[in-house]
Every structure is written in C-alpha cells, then in structure tokens.
Structure 1
Amino acid sequence: MESWSININCDVGEGIGNEAELLPFISSCNIACGGHAGDVLSITQIVKLAKTHQVKVGAHPSYPDTSNFGREVMTIPNSELGQSILKQIRMFDEVLKKEKVEFHHIKAHGALYNETAKNEKLAELYLETISKYRSKVYLYVPFGSVIAGIAKKKGFKLMYEAFGDRNYNKDLSLVSRKLDNALIQQPDKVLHHILPIIKEGTVKVVTGEEIKIMAETICIHGDTTSALEILMYLSKELPKYRVELQK
C-alpha cells in the first residue's frame, strides 16, 4: 500500500509569538531575519526552540520593509536590495553557528518570493546575492517558477513548495491577499486542499480546474489566525491518508 511523507513548514519570527506552539507540529521553519521582521534575539530564541523540537531551520529574507511587512514590491537600487538580503542571511547564519545548528534552507518572504517567481532580473539578482550558499542549503521555491528554472541551471539545491492555507490562480500564482478568497483557514479545507498536492501532484485552482504541481514542502503561514488549529488537525488526520510528517 502506497504511503507518502511531507515536509510542513511555517514562517515564524514575525512578531506573533506562537512559535512554541507551532514547532512541535512542523518539519521546518523559515525565520524572519530583519527585512520585514525579526532580530538577533528573536532568531536566537526560535533557533533554540527548533533545536529542541528537531525542526529544520531556514532564513526568511525579505525586502527591507517593516512598515509593509515585506508584502509590497519595493523599487530600490539592486545594490541596496542585494546588500540587505545578504545582511539578513549573514545575521541568521551567525546565530546558527553560535547555536551549532545546521543551516537547512532559504525561503524569500512575501513580495520578494512572489516577484522572484516571475521576474527574471530579480531572480538573477537574488540568486547571485546568495550564491555563496548554493551548495550548502536548499532553496524553497514554487514549482514551475522563473526562479526555480534559473536556480536549477545554476546548481542550487531546490525544494518545491506549495501553500496549504492559500488559494491558487490557474498560472499557479497565489490569489492576492487583497481578495476575499486568498486564504484557506478551515482545517478540513486545508487538508483536502493539500492531499491532492501530496498524493497526485495536482492542485484545484480558483477556476475549479486541476493543475499539475509538485511540492516537497507545504507552508502553513505562522500568522494565519488558525495556524495552530490547522497544524494540530493535520497531525491527526494526515496519517489516516497514509501521509507521514517528515522530521
């Protein structure tokens, strides 16, 4: 009988303060490192929690934009953006070295994530900025995205990511948070959203069509109101469908 395993990740360190509750139910976490939220203290606290719960840790760099929580595209010089991203990741890496924790992955946040998925020049800039980490860490990227294609050619290690608490457009972009149907917050709806992604490699988009997708990690946003409820529900229900949470 076929079975599956899945890495579930959460964006954390964003000021919600729910990390101690979330981490027992996930495989990996993406820690804000100063662009949209977070500082050395918050990174350190979460890294220590992750070590306790055997959760893999990754950097979650963003546009340097705390006022918009990194969810708006910024028009800034390439050099300034590159320097900011590198500063964020270096700060994160320094904490990991101090705490003797392995650097597992990098996942861009918010508008930076969405823009690098479709903007070739921005994707090139981002990948060039983090090229030092090419052979050391995974990149969490969307399946079929511009950045995934470029990163693969450049020799980065990839993990394809899908979103358990977000609806998709037909082109596999996320429905804008400005729209009422952007979020999936009911635990049972999240379950039935991700099961086809995990088991069949398809996702039901807002048009009702089933579109091909690939995901090795599924994100439940730490700032989704029902995040803990969703994760607790998945931990109980996924084994019934022969899906195991990776640790």
Structure 2
Amino acid sequence: MIRINCDIGERGHLHDEDRRLMERIHIANLACDGHAGDKASVEAFRAMAAKRGVKVSAHLSYPDKTNFGRATMKLPEAGLLAALDAQLALLPGATLVKFHGALYNDACSDPCLANALAGWLKRNNIGALLAPDDSEIASAARNLGIKVLREAFIDRRYAWHRKTGRLALAARGAGGVITDIEEALAQAWEIIKRGRVNVSGSPAKPDWRDIKADTVCIHSDSPIALELADKLRAGLDAYEKAAGIQGNIRLVKLGMCGSACLPVYGRQHLGVSPGGAMDCFSLRRGNLMLGNPEGSPALEIVSPPEIEILTEGRFVLTGSRYDAFLRRGPGEPEQPLRGHRCRELYERPELLEHSRVYEARPGDRLTFDARHYGMYTYFCFRGSEAVPDQVFKGKRGSEAVPDQVFKGKRGSEAVPDQVFKGKRDSAGGGHAQTEAVPFSAVSGWTDPLGRIRVLPGPEYASLEDPGRFFEIPWRTTFKMDRMGMRLAGEPALTCDMGNMISGAVADGTVQLTPDGPIILLRHRQTTGGYPRIFNVISADVDLLAQYAPNQAIHFAQVTLEKAREFARQKEEALAKLASDMNDGTVE
C-alpha cells in the first residue's frame, strides 16, 4: 500500500494547515529543530499523530535554520553527527528517519556521507529510512539491515542525471516545483500505478523513467498541499478498497484456504518468520494482471472451496491449476428467456482457463474439480470501483487518465507468452498434466531442465562428497507443511559436523538432519541447529511451494553471480507484465 508522507512542524506550534494535513496523511515527518521546529512543536504534533494513527519520522537536517536546511554545510563528520544526535533527542524512541533538504540530496549522491549517516542510524537503532530507491543512502542503509521506504515526490518535477544514470529533483529555481493540482495528481498516478515519471518537463513529449515508491511526499508549504493531500488520500483509499478479496467474496464451502499477502521480513531477530504467501510469484502475477498493488490479499487455496462473488469486478486464478468452473448468478439477460434456455444460461457452468482474467458479478459462484498440478492456487480479485476522475485527474503525456484501471470483456485478458511460456494442455490453460512442476517454463529465469538451483550453505564444507547431493534421485515426502519439506533419497548423505550452535536460517535453507535433508519454506522457524548445507536461490523459492508429496525433485548448483542474475530476470518478468497491462498492450 502506498503511504502519503508530509513534512510537518516547519511553521511553528500546531500551525492550522499542518493540523488539517494530519487528517489526510499516513506519515508525519516532524522537524526537530535543525531546519525548523522545536521541542514544543514536536511534542504537540507527536501527540496529535498518536490520536490519529499517523506514524511519525524524525525529519533531520544540517543545523541551518537561516537557510531552512537547503544549503550544503561543510561540517566535520563528528560535528554533523552531534547535531543529528541533538535533533533526534527531541523525538525519543523514534525508529523512522527522513533527512531534509541539502542533507537529503547530499546523502543521495555522496557515498562517504551516506555510509556515515547509515552507520549513525544503525547505532541509534533506527529501523527504517525514507529515501529514493536508487540513492547512495538507500544502498548504505540496506547494507546495514535498515529498511528503506522508497520515496517519491509528487509536487516536484524530476530530471534525469545522465552522468550518474539516476533521477534527480529539478532545481526549484528552474521550474522544479509543481503548483498545478492536475499536474501533481497526474504525476502521482504515474508513480503509483505505472512506476514511472516524466523527466522531459513537457507533458506533450514525455521522457519516461522508472521509479519505485512505497511512499509519496507532499511538502506542507506547497500552495496546493491541502487539496492535493485530500484528493490523493481519497484516490488511494478508493484504489486499494477495490483490490483484494476482503468484502468481495464469500466462502459457501470452506475447503482449506485463507487470505495471503506478501511475506514481512525484518523481524527474524525477534523470532518472527516472514510468513505470507507460499508462492509469491503467482500472487504478485495475479494481482498485476488485475491492476492491483502486487501485495493485495488473495485467497490461497490448498483444497478447493466454493466461492460466491459479492461485488462486481474481475478475478484471475494463478499458481497450481484445477479444473475450475464459473456458474453465473441471476442477471438481466438482453432478451427474456424461458424454460430450458433460461436453465441452461444460469445452470451450465463455464470451464475457466488458468491465468486469464474474467469479469464477475454478484451471485456468480466458482467451484473446483480435479487438480492438474501444484499445491497452492491463488484467487485474486479486483472490484469494479474505479479511482474517480476527480481524484486522479489530468493527462499522462498525450493520454487521458482512464476511467478504470482495466477494461475488457470477460476472458479477454490473457497473460502474455513471455511471462508464462510452455506447452498448453487441451483444457486451455497451464501446462500439460504430465509435467510434475509446470513452473519450470514460467520464464527465462527458471532452469531449462526444471531443477531447483542452490548455493553452498554455511556448513557446506563439512558435507562429505557434496557432489552426491546432485546425483541422488530425491523425492518429496508427505512430511511437508508451510514450514518446510523433508526429502527422501538413497544413499544417505553424511556430514562430519558434531554438535553445533543454532544459527540463522532463511527461505530455502537446506538442513541435513539425521533423517535426511529438509528444505525450509517461508513459515519456517528463524534459527536451526542442523548443518545448513545449501540454500535454494531466491528466484526458485516460490517454485518449491508447488511441489506435491512424492514428486521427483532435482538440484543444480550455481554461482552467487548467477543467482543474482536469475533474481533480476524474475523481477524484470513481473515488471514487464505490469508495464504491459498498464499500457494496454496485453489483450
């Protein structure tokens, strides 16, 4: 979910416009006496944020109220960090920080300053930072395990810095400030929905560049701040209300299923596993096909329920494939129908294709029959409620903002071939039933022989004859759940490790137990005391979720460089799907 953040407290104690902005935002960046603000304003706005459920961040800057923190200061590192210590002290217990003005810009481009600031954040137990995705400070923070909330601006124009190959904010004096509400909302739409921003300065001749954002910033001193925040918040609420299954479906028969979102990382040191969807690729892919935020809640199905649609919208089934049927509910036919024709229209179920978008209306029901492959199916839904015109209004280059995210007739939107390749069976969707794990042909990033790729684990060196791991004919067993799966194969592997202290484990860690290897999945524990001989690469972890019991599973070892390349290719496949759907090139 995209969050609105706003710089608050720069105009004194409980400024009226700041108070009104607090009703519309998700994150308040409180000025802490560096460029503006003081102890009284910080305490007052922090109390107001607590009442309204608004998260606060410490908004820190060069100690320069004269220039409002907009001028670079050549300070010794110790002097700068001491000034930041004094500012942070006004917001005790803060875990979120955003730098301001010149310090923000300098930290984005200067790796030495970025590393110094990241180290300071770590020492002060700051868990998250607002910063541009491709900046030096974001990279330095991530290297120290600090979460980065990727930030974009909707009331400032962007430029493309050719020397660095990065986005940069256009200079204020060179028309860098957006004061037209329609232009600001149009830029917000492009960033939030399409992940791109125009750097040409001309809507008629756009030059689009990719931009990733978890949060968008509105400057409180902008003349359009209140109107922009009001319309943007209304638009986001409408956009996200329509995404996901909450309130849009009812389970007539329960089956074995539940709501699933993306995993949440960053709490392993507290003993909390990531959790989330078992096959994140299928969840993300389904949501992107509908125009949802990729992490919108979907119904994760292990054994099939019967689903009744409660609201008009669109849905898609991804992941493992069943024979699925849609029985249309009562509606208004174009011409009166009687007798057999009426019963045929409303009682004959329609066989659904896998990975194809369908329109639905209240009263429609989905039922499932035989499973063809895999373990986890994802039912993704988007209600027909569109972002209203008055919220996201304006032009995207020469294109008008559409009334709806996607339009089209039932079943007209198929997943593009470059995202889901492979032989189709006679039922129309998915892969041939004879293929044990059909996702080996999802895209170019998977292994062409259908193998799961691994890297050596921390205790790899203790494994006797590591090459045997790749020769043994492994099979999955019935000892599998959301935490992990046990493998069976002969001859047994041996390891010369004695007793070991429990160590951290990750998604896809392969541990060698006395009863054979186990592969840990997303709902795993966070530490383990068995040798970690291999780790499945991140690009292939989702594939593990679709293995059923008693299936052959084969492995291949790759280098770290290759693992990173496969992860990049996987993300590019999803990004291309999102781009194709948003541009209307997928029909």
Aligned to 1:118: 109
* 1:17-62 residue CA offsets vs partner (Å, 9 max, x unmatched): 2221101111001000011011110000100111121100000000
Counterpart check, 1:129 vs 2:120: yes
Within 5 Å, give how 1:171-210 maps onto structure 2.
171-179=166-174, 181-206=175-200, 208-210=206-208
Aligned equivalents of 2:27 and 2:187: distance in 1? Answer: 20
Counterpart check, 1:106 vs 2:97: yes
Aligned to 2:230: 232
Which 5+ residue runs of structure 2 have no aligned equivalent? 161-165, 242-587
CA contact (8 A) 2:2 2:236 kept: no
Report how far residue 239 of structure 1 moved.
4.7
Pick the structure with more helix per residue.
Answer: 1
Report how far residue 130 of structure 1 moved.
2.0
Aligned to 1:69: 68
Which 5+ residue runs of structure 1 have no aligned equivalent? 98-102
CA RMSD between the two structures: 1.6
The AA in structure 2 aligned to 1:111 is: A
Aligned equivalents of 2:26 and 2:215: distance in 1? Answer: 9
* 1:111-145 residue CA offsets vs partner (Å, 9 max, x unmatched): 000000000111112112222244x5310010111
| Number of corresponding residues | 229
**Percent identity at matched positions?**
36
The AA in structure 2 aligned to 1:199 is: K
Counterpart check, 1:12 vs 2:11: no
Aligned to 1:214: 212
Aligned equivalents of 1:225 and 1:46: distance in 2? Answer: 21
* 1:185-214 residue CA offsets vs partner (Å, 9 max, x unmatched): 222211110112111211111353111111
Report how far residue 104 of structure 1 moved.
4.6
Aligned to 1:140: 130
Report how far residue 235 of structure 1 moved.
2.8
Aligned equivalents of 1:63 and 1:31: distance in 2? Answer: 15
Aligned equivalents of 1:237 and 1:129: distance in 2? Answer: 37
SS at match of 2:7: strand
Alpha-carbon spacing, 1:154–1:137, altered in 2? closer, same or farther (3 Å): closer
Aligned equivalents of 2:137 and 2:195: distance in 1? Answer: 20
The AA in structure 1 aligned to 2:169 is: L
Aligned equivalents of 1:177 and 1:87: distance in 2? Answer: 29
TM-score (norm 1): 0.88
The AA in structure 2 aligned to 1:20 is: R
Alpha-carbon spacing, 1:153–1:217, altered in 2? closer, same or farther (3 Å): same
SS at match of 1:122: helix
Aligned equivalents of 2:191 and 2:137: distance in 1? Answer: 20
SS at match of 1:203: strand
Aligned to 1:100: none
SS at match of 2:29: strand
Aligned to 2:85: 86
CA contact (8 A) 2:7 2:219 kept: yes
The AA in structure 1 aligned to 2:80 is: L
CA contact (8 A) 1:36 1:64 kept: yes
Choose between structure 1 and 2 for higher RCO, CA contacts under 8 A separated by at least 6 residues. 1
CA contact (8 A) 1:56 1:104 kept: no
Aligned equivalents of 2:127 and 2:42: distance in 1? Answer: 18
Residue of 155, 158, 175 corresponding to 1:168: 158
Aligned equivalents of 1:7 and 1:236: distance in 2? Answer: 12
SS at match of 1:127: helix
Aligned equivalents of 1:235 and 1:157: distance in 2? Answer: 24
Aligned equivalents of 1:63 and 1:174: distance in 2? Answer: 19
Counterpart check, 1:156 vs 2:146: yes
CA contact (8 A) 2:184 2:228 kept: yes
CA contact (8 A) 2:133 2:151 kept: yes
TM-score (norm 2): 0.38
CA contact (8 A) 2:98 2:130 kept: yes
